[in-house]
Homo-oligomer: A and B are copies of this chain.
Amino acid sequence: MLPTLIALAEPNRYRIIELLSKGPRTVGQIAERLELRQPQASKHLRVLSDAGLVEVHRLAQQRIYRLRKEPFQAFDAWLESYRNLKEESYDRLEAYLQTVQAKEKSHASKK
């Protein structure tokens, strides 16, 4: 998940992903639409590709980029852990925190 997040957490790459969500595009189209210089577009696309967020297809001299589904599915799965965040009131937390503390101690793993 982290690698995906890191790849996404850059304004221009984020914009590229948004654009590609509307459908595949060539490098030239991406650069033009987002007003990026071609080399920067290519470089960002490489990062996205390395992170597995997009895939390429060659068509003559053009390279068609499009989103891959898997990373977004993984994202969705990752969100599961955050869908049931409890909103316990804070006055009960003191005791809870002590419990946590105790567990940590007993686990007492690393140095």
Using a CB–CB cutoff of 8 Å, the interface residues on chain A facing chain B are 1-2, 5-6, 8-9, 11, 14, 18, 21, 23-26, 29, 32-33, 35, 57, 59, 62, 64, 67, 69, 72, 75-76, 79, 81-83, 85-88, 90, 93-94, 96-97, 100-101, 104, 110
Contacts and interface: CB of A to CB of B under 8 A. Distances in A.
A67 B75 CA distance: 18
B23 A14 contact: no
Contacts of A75: 75, 79, 82
Contacts of A94: 59
A81 B21 contact: yes
A79 B35 CA distance: 25
Contacts of A88: 24
Name A's interface SS.
helix
B9 A96 contact: no
A67 B96 contact: no
A101 B23 CA distance: 12
Contact of A83 (B9, B33, B64, B72): B72
A88 B69 CA distance: 12
